[in-house]
């Protein structure tokens, strides 16, 4: 089952157009994701352009990724794929996400699965080449408030937010890269609250053990994220990439240097593209004169141009001359990091990327970056839409069937409640009881006429009994009315509960609920089940029925 994206809330208009009418947007992208020939063209371009400046080779990147994935406790297939990456006939299918607590909203897991699935499809389609899935772990962001919590459905079927609180981090004023933040003792309390909130199942103890192993005091966000996503995904061959690694940053020096030497050219390119895009759509990103950050005293600050060839750090009084900053780039390149404009450029400079698995917002901001890719002598890869899903549990499906409701109707709470109550309230109690009384009065009159012939007193006695019965009918009617009101309230409460499962807090389920809720209920086998039931090439929101138990 599936629903067109246009019938669902929360999707930007550019994404809808990208799905429904790619040709109208072809000027903003390099390749049509619907066409296998586009993938082949992307392969050929990457083969000719990748590593053309000769500053590093495949063995360099493989060595770095091998060391990283050892630290992330990656499985055997990952290292097999890393060996393949040494070959010039091997290409990358890349996706990525912020380092959310316990992987954050569950679409992060779906993106990783999609990368693996697209590799499998392309390996079958283009047998002369190899394709390996790579997950870019975005750890340079400093939006702690975005990643320090998750949402689950608790044992009382209520939405419940689980938050990790750090004594050293101001949630709304954090400048430290999230990937560097080390967990304190309070992470143990967070895990206890999490598993106390979930309903106890046969899978709970093992899942808690895994979570506790991955998230413990002294480990940082990126190490915990990498180990945890490996545990829950299993041996599927996913290669994790930590872009905050010093060795990675050294490879990126030419990109950083060009940005500093040529500013604000990349910014102006984005602005020019944005002007064209905004004739019909809303732009997702706003470029900066310099699209780089610098980490000073552990905090990440945007680099800003100053007068007389000086550079400053935003929200500080710190300034560097151009020579000072260039020297720092060579001496401590790990202190530099790209913003949203430059991050894809860095990614596809490092990797032989044929395709990037992108969510709706990412697809929208890639539309602004084609010219930046060209400025950096590169090509935007095939931007492949990630799968969008809602997991439908058995009780939810049964409720929808019983009440003759469609999935998309649940996105308007007032309308779906009105529809459901109208069915209940179609029962007219006044009509039922007045009709019954009318019929009873007719029967009473006929019986009274006959009883009078026998005995007048018998007729009177009979009428008294009937009057008492009619009075009791009014009591029954009152009780029936109370039951109808109660049923209405129960229906409203149940509807709200169902809506909170599929559209929690007015978000699509995949953008709000953490995967641990489902893993706790259905086991780690859920991952393989999703992989088998997701249609990678279906351009609609997919409803995945959870019809199995562990």
> In terms of pTM, does the model score above 0.85?
yes
pLDDT for the residue numbered 430 = 72
Confidence grade of residue 484 (pLDDT, cut at 50, 70, 90): low
pLDDT for the residue numbered 404 = 84
Confidence grade of residue 505 (pLDDT, cut at 50, 70, 90): very high
Confidence grade of residue 235 (pLDDT, cut at 50, 70, 90): very high
pLDDT for the residue numbered 424 = 62
Q: What's the average model confidence in pLDDT over 302-312?
A: 94
**Res. 13: pLDDT tops 90:** yes
**Res. 483: pLDDT tops 80:** no
**Res. 418: pLDDT tops 70:** no
Count CA within 13 A, CB hemisphere, residue 464: 6
Q: What are φ and ψ of residue 195, in 5° steps?
A: -80, -20
Extract the tokens encoding 415: 């309308």
Extract the tokens encoding 41: 């063209």
Helices (H), 50-106: 58-71, 76-84
Four-residue CA torsion sign, 29, 33, 38, 41? positive
User: Which 3 state secondary structure label does DSSP give 320?
Assistant: strand
Cα radius of gyration (the chain): 31
CB within 8 A of 54, min separation 6: which ones? Answer: none
Extract the tokens encoding 391: 């997991």
**Res. 129: pLDDT tops 80:** yes
Q: If residue 384 lies in a helix (H) or strand (E), which one and from where to where?
A: strand 382-385
**Res. 208: pLDDT tops 70:** yes
pLDDT tens figures, 107-118: 999 999 999 999
**Domain locations in the chain?**
2-252+335-388+524-546, 395-507
Confidence grade of residue 428 (pLDDT, cut at 50, 70, 90): low
pLDDT for the residue numbered 173 = 66
Q: Look up residue 523 and give its DSSP letter.
A: -
Four-residue CA torsion sign, 121, 124, 125, 126? positive
**Res. 134: pLDDT tops 90:** yes
Asked if residue 376 lies in contact with residue 296, where contact means CB atoms within 8 angstroms, the answer is no
pLDDT for the residue numbered 448 = 76
- Diameter of the chain measured on Cα atoms: 123
pLDDT for the residue numbered 447 = 78
CA distance 493 to 491: 5
DSSP string computed for 25-55: GGGG-SS-TT-HHHHHHHHHHHHHHTTTT-S
CA distance 357 to 114: 7
Q: At what angle do helices 58-71 and 76-84 cross, to 10 degrees?
A: 170
pLDDT tens figures, 374-395: 999 999 999 999 999 999 999 8
């Amino acid at each position: 089952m599936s629903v067109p994206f246009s019938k669902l809330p929360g999707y930007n208009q550019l994404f809808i157009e990208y799905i429904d009418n790619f040709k109208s947007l072809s000027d903003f992208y390099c390749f049509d994701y619907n066409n296998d020939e586009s993938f082949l063209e992307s392969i050929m371009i990457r083969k000719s352009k990748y590593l053309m400046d000769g500053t590093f080779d495949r063995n360099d990147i493989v060595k770095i990724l091998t060391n990283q994935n050892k630290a992330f406790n990656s499985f055997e297939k990952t290292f097999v794929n890393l060996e393949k990456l040494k070959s010039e006939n091997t290409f990358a299918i890349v996706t990525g996400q912020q380092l959310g607590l316990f992987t954050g909203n569950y679409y992060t897991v779906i993106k990783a699965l999609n990368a693996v699935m697209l590799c499998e499809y392309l390996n079958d389609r283009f047998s002369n080449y190899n394709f390996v899935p790579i997950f870019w772990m975005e750890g340079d962001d400093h939006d702690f408030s975005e990643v320090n919590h998750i949402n689950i459905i608790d044992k009382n079927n209520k939405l419940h937010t689980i938050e990790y609180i750090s004594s050293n981090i101001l949630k709304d004023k954090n400048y430290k890269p999230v990937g560097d933040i080390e967990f304190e003792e309070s992470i143990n309390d967070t895990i206890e609250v999490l598993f106390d909130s979930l309903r106890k199942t046969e899978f709970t103890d093992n899942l808690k053990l895994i979570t506790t192993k991955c998230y413990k005091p002294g480990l940082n966000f990126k190490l915990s994220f990498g180990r945890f996503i490996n545990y829950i995904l299993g041996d599927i061959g996913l290669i994790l990439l930590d872009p905050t690694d010093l060795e990675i940053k050294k490879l990126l020096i030419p990109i950083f240097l060009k940005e500093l030497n040529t500013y604000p050219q990349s910014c102006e390119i984005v602005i020019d593209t944005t002007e064209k895009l905004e004739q019909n759509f809303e732009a997702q990103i706003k470029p900066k004169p310099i699209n780089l950050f610098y980490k000073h005293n552990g905090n990440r600050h945007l680099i800003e141009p100053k007068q007389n060839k000086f550079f400053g750090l935003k929200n500080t009084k710190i300034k560097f001359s151009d020579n000072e900053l260039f020297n720092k780039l060579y001496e401590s390149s790990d202190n530099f990091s790209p913003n949203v404009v430059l991050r894809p450029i860095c990614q596809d400079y490092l990797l032989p990327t044929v395709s990037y698995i992108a969510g709706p917002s990412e697809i929208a901001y890639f539309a602004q970056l084609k010219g930046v890719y060209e400025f950096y002598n590169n090509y935007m890869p095939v931007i492949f839409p990630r799968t969008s899903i809602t997991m439908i549990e058995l009780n939810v499906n049964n409720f929808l069937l019983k009440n003759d409701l469609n999935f998309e109707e649940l996105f308007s709470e007032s309308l779906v409640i009105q529809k459901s109550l109208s069915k209940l309230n179609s029962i007219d109690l006044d009509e039922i009881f007045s009709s019954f009384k009318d019929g009873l009065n007719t029967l009473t009159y006929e019986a009274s006429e006959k009883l009078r012939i026998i005995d007048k007193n018998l007729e009177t006695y009979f009428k008294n009994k009937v009057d008492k019965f009619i009075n009791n009918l009014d009591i029954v009617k009152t009780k029936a009315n109370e039951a109808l009101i109660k049923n209405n309230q129960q229906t409203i409460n149940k509807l709200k509960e169902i809506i909170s499962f599929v559209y929690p807090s007015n978000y699509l389920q995949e953008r709000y609920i953490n995967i641990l809720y489902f893993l706790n209920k259905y086991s780690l086998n859920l991952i393989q089940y999703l992989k088998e039931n997701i249609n990678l090439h279906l351009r609609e929101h997919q409803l995945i029925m959870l019809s199995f138990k562990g």
